[in-house]
Amino acid sequence: MKFIEMKEITFKDFKEFVKKHQKVKIENVELEIGKPKHIPLEKLQPKNFQPETTTVWSFPDRGNWATHYLNSKYRGNWAPQVPRNLILKYTKEGDTVLDQMVGSGTTLIECKLLGRNGIGVDINPNAIMVTLDRLDFNLPIGHKKSKIKTYVGDARNLNLIEDDSIDLIATHPPYAGIISYSNQKVEGDLSSLSVKDFVKEMKKVAEECFRVLKPGKYCAILIGDTRKHRHYIPIAFRVMGVFLEVGFILKEDIIKLQWKMKSTREKWAGKYDFYKIAHEHLFVFRKPEKNEKLNKFKESMKW
C-alpha cells in the first residue's frame, strides 16, 4: 500500500483559505474558522490547574481556556487537560511534541501555551485548517515562543520527520468505525476501518512512532473500546499489543473516565443487557535507550 506523503500547510496557506471559506465540515458538523480572536490574558491559561498524580483521570468539565472553547463541537477530540498533563510530565520548554492525528489542534494549542515546539499531522485537510484557526491567537510579550508546523499527511508515513527527533508523542487515534472524521472519503482515513483492519494499520502507526521518537522518550496514545452484537471488543488492548510488538515498553495504563458521551446516549437510549462503556485507556509507552538491556522488562511481561 502506498501512503500519501506529508505536505506542510502554513499560516499563509490558512489565511488564503479563509478568504474563500468561513466554515469547514468535519463528519456532519460545520465549524467556523477565520474569525479574529481576542482572548483576555486571564483566559489564556487554566485556573486552578493541578497535575494528575494517579492512574485514574476524570475531567467532567472540558477545559475552555485559550481557544479550546471553540472545539466543543468537534466530536471525539480529547480534553486539553490530557495533553497538558502529558506535556508537563514528560517534556521541558523547547522540546518537540508530535500529534500525528491532530484533529482540531488541542495538543498544539497546549504546546503554544507551554512553550513547546509542536508538529501536527492529519489526513483530513479540513482538520488542519481547524487546527491553524485554533492556533491563531496572540500570547503576551515575553512568553516563550514555540515553533509549530502543521501537515496534511498519514500517521503511517511521517516521511518529513527525521529518525530519533521527537521528545513526546501525544495523540488520540479515531476509534475503529465509531466516528468518521471525513464526510467526503479521504484515502487512508483510519476512522472508517473495521476493528481488524484498524489494529493492522495501527501497527504501522506504531512503527512510525518508534522511528521518530528519541530513545528514552515517551509516546502517549488515548484509545477506547467498543461493542459488537452487545459484546465487548477490547480495541485498546489490541492497540497496546502492537505498540509492544514494535519495541515499546509500557510505562503507564491510565484510565480516563468519559463524560457527555453523545454517541453512547443515542445508540443505547433504550433497554440493554450490559454496562455502558465510560472509560478510555491512556497508554504511555517508552522507547528504550540505545543498547538498553530489556531482560528485566521481558521477564516481568511473561504470563
Instruction: Give domain status of residue 44, yes or no.
Output: no
* pLDDT at residue 178, rounded to an integer: 53
Asked whether the beta carbons of 274 and 227 are under 8 A apart, the reply is yes
pLDDT band at 85 (very low <50, low <70, confident <90, very high): very high
**What is the CATH number for 203?**
3.40.50.150
Instruction: Give domain status of residue 45, yes or no.
Output: no
Mean pLDDT value across residues 10-23: 97
pLDDT band at 263 (very low <50, low <70, confident <90, very high): low
Asked whether the beta carbons of 282 and 56 are under 8 A apart, the reply is no
Mean pLDDT value across residues 136-149: 93
* Residue found under cell 518508534: 210
pLDDT band at 29 (very low <50, low <70, confident <90, very high): confident
pLDDT band at 1 (very low <50, low <70, confident <90, very high): low
Q: What is the number of domains present in the chain?
A: 1
Instruction: Give domain status of residue 46, yes or no.
Output: no
* pLDDT score of 301 more than 60: yes
Instruction: Give domain status of residue 266, yes or no.
Output: yes
* pLDDT score of 181 more than 50: no
Instruction: Give domain status of residue 255, yes or no.
Output: yes
Q: What is the percent of the chain with per-residue pLDDT over 90, rounded to a whole number?
A: 73
Domain that holds residue 184: 7-37+54-300
What is the pTM (predicted TM-score) of this model?
A: 0.92
Instruction: Give domain status of residue 48, yes or no.
Output: no
pLDDT band at 20 (very low <50, low <70, confident <90, very high): very high
* pLDDT at residue 270, rounded to an integer: 66
Mean pLDDT value across residues 31-42: 93
Instruction: Give domain status of residue 2, yes or no.
Output: no
Instruction: Give domain status of residue 173, yes or no.
Output: yes
- The candidate with the shortest Cα–Cα distance to 6, out of 154, 156, 129, is 154
* pLDDT score of 215 more than 80: yes
Sequence-distant (≥ 6) Cβ neighbours of residue 235 within 8 angstroms = 175, 176, 195, 198, 199, 223, 224, 225, 226
* pLDDT score of 213 more than 70: yes
* pLDDT score of 303 more than 60: no
Pick the range with the lowest mean pLDDT from 35-44, 48-57, 92-101, 191-200. 191-200
Pick the range with the lowest mean pLDDT from 8-17, 63-72, 125-134. 63-72
> What digits encode the pLDDT tens for the residues 46-59?
999 999 999 999 99
